[in-house]
Amino acid sequence: MQEKLTFQISKANELAPNDRLELIELCTAAYEEAFDHLFDSLPDSTHIIARLGNEIVSHAAWVTRWLQPEGVPELRTAYIEAVATLPRYQGQGFGSAVMRKLVPLINDYELGALSPSYSAFYARLGWELWQGSLFIRTAAGLVASPADEEVMIMRLPQTPALDLRAALSAEWRAGELW
């Protein structure tokens, strides 16, 4: 990895307008889908931004969610979103560097979690695939998530003992449920 990589950690509402636009462009390019909703869909998000010189090359964000393994109280969870590296910079370790930098920043949460597209990318960084069934908590009760939905977790200093085979639920939210 090149030495010039620098990091900025900011709440969404502290980001400069240009940085917000650059992040939307970065995610749009990485995911190959429009990401204009990035900030609307992530209320009170915190962003970790990696730059090479002045250019944003990689990014991840987290929001607070309440995940609940069966038999455990709801856990204040840092839920990671929009992990993305500009396509021309992928495969150079920047995404891994962002994710390594992120974990100590969420240490005051009770759990880290995310919904992976490529679980192997996170597994080698210590994230563990949840093996139990996934549910969304709604006013009408628990709604099972599709079987192909995947969630990975990161154990943090305050994470209680967990059985990864237990059922896991999250609160309903608009947009992507996981």
Ligand X SMILES: CC(C)(COP(=O)(O)OP(=O)(O)OC[C@H]1O[C@@H](n2cnc3c(N)ncnc32)[C@H](O)[C@@H]1OP(=O)(O)O)[C@@H](O)C(=O)NCCC(=O)NCCS
Rounded Cα–Cα distance for residues 114 and 78 (Å) = 8
Q: Distance between CA atoms of 52 and 42, rounded to whole angstroms? A: 25
- Map the footprint of ligand X across residues 150-169, applying CB under 6 A: none
The contact pattern for ligand X, residues 26-45, with x = CB under 6 A and - = no contact, is ----xx--------------
Q: Give me the least distance between CB of 1 and ligand X, in Å please.
A: 8
Phi, psi of 168, rounded to the nearest 5 degrees:
-130, 130
Please report, as residue ranges, which positions from 42 to 101 form the binding site for ligand X (by CB under 6 A): 58, 83-85, 90-96
| Rounded least distance, CB 32 to ligand X, Å | 8
C-alpha to C-alpha distance for 124 and 134, rounded to whole angstroms? 23
> DSSP letters along 6-21, please?
EEEEEEGGGS-HHHHH
Q: Distance between CA atoms of 43 and 64, rounded to whole angstroms?
A: 9
Stretch that binds ligand X, among 6-14, 113-121, 130-138, 151-159 (CB under 6 A): 113-121
The yes or no reply on residue 2 touching ligand X (CB under 6 A) is no
Using the minimum distance from each CB to ligand X, give the nearer residue, 8 or 96: 96
Residues 178, 144 contacting (CB under 8 angstroms): no
User: Judged by CB, which is closer to ligand X: 13, or 33?
Assistant: 33
- Residues binding ligand X (CB under 6 A): 30-31, 58, 83-85, 90-96, 116-118, 120-121
